[in-house]
Amino acid sequence: MIIYEMFKDSEESRNMFSWGFIFVDDWDSVKESYGALSFIYGTIVSSLIALFMALPVSIGVAIFLSELAKTAIRTTISFMVEILAAIPSIIYGFWGIFALAPFMRETVQPFLQSVLGFIPFFQGNIYGFGMLTAGIILAIMITPIITSITRDVLRAIPVSQREAAYSLGSTRWEAIKMALLNAKSGILGATVLGLGRAIGETMAVTMVIGNRAQIKASLFEPAYSMASVIANEFAEASGSLHISALIEVGLILFGVTFIINSLARFLIFSVTYKMDNK
Amino acid sequence: MDRSVLLLNERNLKQRKIKNYLMILFCAISSIITIFPLVYIFFYTTGAGISAINLDFFINLPKPVGETGGGMLNAIVGTLILIGIGGLFGIPIGILAGIYVSEYSGSIMSNIVKFITDVLSGTPSIIIGIFAYGLIVLPMQRFSALAGGFALGILMIPTITRITEEMLKLVPHTLREASLALGISRWKTTLRIVLRTASSGIITGILLAIARASGETAPLLFTSFGNNFWSISLDQPIASIPVMIFNYAISPFDEWHRKAWAGAFVLITIVFLVNLIVRIVTKTKYKAG
């Protein structure tokens, strides 16, 4: 039903721009020329930054929770991770504007520029708001999801496997590595699910990404994402073509998250199913 | 394999032990890294919120820029109304879908329902907003509380369905069989016995769904839209706390920022309390079971 509705409502824009819509980076409501490439780029890059930062940390936490921590510490930390997942995204965004962005502008970005300035990613003007800041916020937001699923997948691996590893004289890390290898498709699923979440995240990204439709190599530059352009322009869109174009952006977004989520469910399911049937 | 030979090698063992400690250290450090933003956000919001919050915030309407005082009464009431509409619509559907998936599991239809719920829970909330816009706002020709509530209702469904399903699965099968053996029809068994046994779990699910919905902003931007004045009619735009925070946060006025922090503080408190309650309830339940 959702798909049908969005398909119908975006008809005008689809007829107008056909497939060129996703390959053109021009977005101008005055000239009535719409292309979504810069939003797609912004969404993908900010999500990838988030994933790149969140993945090792989440796996670390998941291992800590499922293999290492004592019960008291474990319940406290899992509770905190749950809260982290439950905080409304608007609060992340708000915090991003007033705490993270100034911090990025004054401390992190000048430092990165002076150390890694030779890479194009870290050149250009420093605004504080931009791709990198959005990526960091997203990383904070998707860590709890990846963590909790990875932890569940690790728990599904039988303890006897670890005992077998210990009995062969392996260290604790080597035993954990065994479990990780067994859980790898589940962890991949958790990662993909986190990616899907990052792609669809709206408010927090809108508030810190800078909202400028452009494609720049520098991660410090403001950018735009699919979800945030809808959030910003939908309520005051001028003309039916504009709305229709925005709905088409939504349709692309929905398609992407749909595929990603189905993939993730399938991967997680395959691990838990295999373990249940052993 | 030559693993046993490697084991005898003293230097190799030392390396493995160092690696072991390093990796465990890494895991512990990542836990700290993860907890840090939570603590930071929590205290930042609390710090900024408490100084801005007072009785006015809860009992007054927003004032224009420049005037001091004023509150968010309309947004608070608006959020309650939106959640009410969403709940009226989302909770029954969520529970019924959960019952269907759990009690009639195995059929093709229940698998389809399950899959759709999964997809729905992964769908970005802004997409739900567009959907509500197309379905309700366009035909009505204006933003309305009804559309916002509808969007929130859809958002609640997957959470409630999932938890209902899991809670019903915890109900022992013998209970159902005993009831059926006494000649009670299937729908009565489900409604009066299975559902009642699982009710406390389902209530926690509803609480979680409400907590999540109360913080949702994206789908409300172009369904309920927001309103600076007092309004409780369902076919008009209505204010809500998250949208109010958003509008105030991106405004250039310090006074409004303080208001927004107060709103954020209220939201974060709700979320924290609900999670704490759920945690305590489920914990005592598992201990008893």
User: Which carries the bigger pLDDT value, residue A41 or residue B7?
Assistant: A41
Does residue A261 register a pLDDT over 70? yes
Pairwise CA distance, residues A22 & B24, whole Å: 45
Measure A119 CA to nearest chain B CA, in Å.
Answer: 27
Of the listed ranges A25-29, A209-213, A240-244, B155-159, the one predicted with least confidence: A25-29
3-state DSSP call for residue B149? Answer: helix
User: Where exactly are the structural domains of chain A?
Assistant: 2-9+36-276
Is A200's CB within 8 Å of B122's CB? yes
User: Where exactly are the structural domains of chain B?
Assistant: 3-52, 59-288
Residue A163 confidence (pLDDT): 82
Of the listed ranges A46-55, B80-89, B279-288, the one predicted with least confidence: B279-288
Cα B214-A142-B110 angle, rounded to 5 deg: 70
- ipTM of the assembly? 0.75
Q: Residue A249 in contact with residue A231, Cβ under 8 Å?
A: no
The string of DSSP letters for A146-179 reads HHHHHHHHHHHS-HHHHHHHHHTT--HHHHHHHH
With a CB cutoff of 8 Å and minimum separation 6, the contacts of B5 are: none
Does residue B202 register a pLDDT over 80? yes
Residues of B in contact with A175 (CB under 8 A): none
Pairwise CA distance, residues A230 & A239, whole Å: 15
Average pLDDT over residues A4-32: 52
**Assigned fold of A2-9+36-276:** MetI-like fold (1.10.3720)
Is A5's CB within 8 Å of B119's CB? no
With a CB cutoff of 8 Å and minimum separation 6, the contacts of B186 are: B180
3-state DSSP call for residue A201? Answer: coil
Average pLDDT over residues A184-192: 83
Is A197's CB within 8 Å of B122's CB? yes
pLDDT in tens, B62-90: 666 555 566 677 788 888 888 888 888 88
Three-state secondary structure string covering B29-71: HHHHHHHHHHHHHHHHHHHHHHHHCCHHHHHCCCCCCCCCCCC
Average pLDDT over residues B147-176: 85
Surface-to-core class of residue B129, CB atoms within 10 Å of its CB (0-12 exposed, 13-18 middle, 19+ buried): buried
pLDDT in tens, A70-114: 778 888 888 888 888 888 888 888 888 888 877 777 776 666 766
Residue A162 Cα to chain centre, angstroms = 32
Average pLDDT over residues A250-276: 76
Please, where are the H alpha helices in B123-144?
125-132, 138-140
pLDDT in tens, B35-55: 887 788 888 888 777 777 776
Q: Which CATH number fits domain B59-288: 3.90.1150.10, 3.40.50.970, 1.10.3720.10, 3.40.50.670?
A: 1.10.3720.10
Residue of A nearest to B244 (CA): A90
Does residue B169 register a pLDDT over 60? yes
Beta-carbon pairs below 8 A across chains A and B = 203
Is B126's CB within 8 Å of A61's CB? no
Residue B287 confidence (pLDDT): 46
Tokens of B275: 């999670």
Does residue A239 register a pLDDT over 60? yes
Residue B164 confidence (pLDDT): 87
Q: Residue B99 in contact with residue B168, Cβ under 8 Å?
A: yes
Residues of B in contact with A89 (CB under 8 A): 215, 217-218
The per-residue pLDDT of chain B, averaged, comes to 77
Does residue A195 register a pLDDT over 70? yes
B27, B125, B225: residue with CB nearest A64: B27
Of the listed ranges A26-35, A239-248, B131-140, B170-179, the one predicted with least confidence: A26-35
Pairwise CA distance, residues B30 & A89, whole Å: 22
Residue A79 confidence (pLDDT): 82
Region of A133 please: left (phi>0), alpha (psi -120 to 50) or beta. Answer: alpha
With a CB cutoff of 8 Å and minimum separation 6, the contacts of A265 are: A189, A193, B115, B118
Residues of B in contact with A174 (CB under 8 A): 16, 20
Residue of A nearest to B1 (CA): A168
Pairwise CA distance, residues A45 & A39, whole Å: 10
Measure A242 CA to nearest chain B CA, in Å.
Answer: 14
A5, A58, A80: residue with CB nearest B131: A5
With a CB cutoff of 8 Å and minimum separation 6, the contacts of B66 are: B255
Does residue B179 register a pLDDT over 50? yes
Is B40's CB within 8 Å of A99's CB? yes
Q: How confident is the model at residue A212 (pLDDT cuts 50, 70, 90)?
A: low
Is A173's CB within 8 Å of B24's CB? yes
The closest of B202, B199, B216 to B271, measured between CA atoms, is B216
Q: How confident is the model at residue B246 (pLDDT cuts 50, 70, 90)?
A: confident
Q: How many CB atoms lie within 10 A of CB A217?
A: 12
**In whole angstroms, how far apart are CA B240 and each of A190, B133, B246?**
33, 17, 10
Q: How many CB atoms lie within 10 A of CB B56?
A: 15
Pairwise CA distance, residues A120 & B9, whole Å: 46
With a CB cutoff of 8 Å and minimum separation 6, the contacts of B216 are: A88, B125, B151, B152, B155, B242
A65, A173, A265: residue with CB nearest B20: A173
Of the listed ranges A88-97, A138-147, B222-231, the one predicted with least confidence: B222-231
Q: Residue A132 in contact with residue A73, Cβ under 8 Å?
A: no
Best probe of the A interface among B8, B15, B130, by most A CBs < 10 A, is B130
Q: How many CB atoms lie within 10 A of CB A234?
A: 22
Best probe of the A interface among B6, B15, B22, B24, by most A CBs < 10 A, is B24
Pairwise CA distance, residues B259 & B280, whole Å: 32
Highest mean pLDDT among A51-55, B183-187, B226-230: A51-55
The string of DSSP letters for B57-107 reads HHHS----TT------HHHHHHHHHHHHHHHHHHHHHHHHHHHHHHHTTTS
A60, A203, A254: residue with CB nearest B246: A203
The per-residue pLDDT of chain A, averaged, comes to 74
A79, A87, A97: residue with CB nearest B271: A87
Q: How confident is the model at residue B201 (pLDDT cuts 50, 70, 90)?
A: confident
Residue B9 confidence (pLDDT): 62
Residue A227 confidence (pLDDT): 74
Pairwise CA distance, residues B232 & B214, whole Å: 17
Is B125's CB within 8 Å of A200's CB? yes
B20, B27, B217: residue with CB nearest A89: B217
Pairwise CA distance, residues B214 & B202, whole Å: 18
Residues of B in contact with A202 (CB under 8 A): 124-126, 217-218
The β-bridge partners of B225 are: B238
Best probe of the B interface among A74, A94, A140, by most B CBs < 10 A, is A94
The β-bridge partners of A210 are: A223
